[in-house]
Amino acid sequence: METQGYPAVAGLSHVAIRTRSMEDSILYYTRVLGLREAFRMYREDGSLSTAYLYLAPGQYLELFSDGSRNGMSGPDVIGFCHLCLMTKDIHRSYESVRKAGGPLDSEIKRGRSMCWMFWTHDPDGTQIEVMEMPPESLQAQADRRLGCQPG
Q: Is residue 42 part of a domain?
A: yes
pTM score of the predicted model: 0.76
CATH code (residue 35):
3.10.180.10
pLDDT digits (tens, 9 = 90+) for 36-68: 999 999 999 999 999 999 998 889 999 988 654
pLDDT value at 151 more than 50? no
Higher pLDDT among residues 148 and 127, named by residue: 127
Is-contact 51 57, C-beta < 8 A? Answer: no
Q: Is residue 6 part of a domain?
A: no
pLDDT value at 69 more than 50? no
Is-contact 87 134, C-beta < 8 A? Answer: no
Q: Is residue 91 part of a domain?
A: yes
Band of residue 73 on the pLDDT scale cut at 50, 70, 90: low
| DSSP for residue 31 | I
Q: How far apart are CA 95 and CA 93, in angstroms?
A: 5
Q: Is residue 4 part of a domain?
A: no
| DSSP for residue 114 | S
pLDDT value at 1 more than 50? no
Overall domain count for the chain? 1
Q: Is residue 93 part of a domain?
A: yes
Can you give the residue range of the structural domain that contains 77? Answer: 11-145
Q: Is residue 60 part of a domain?
A: yes
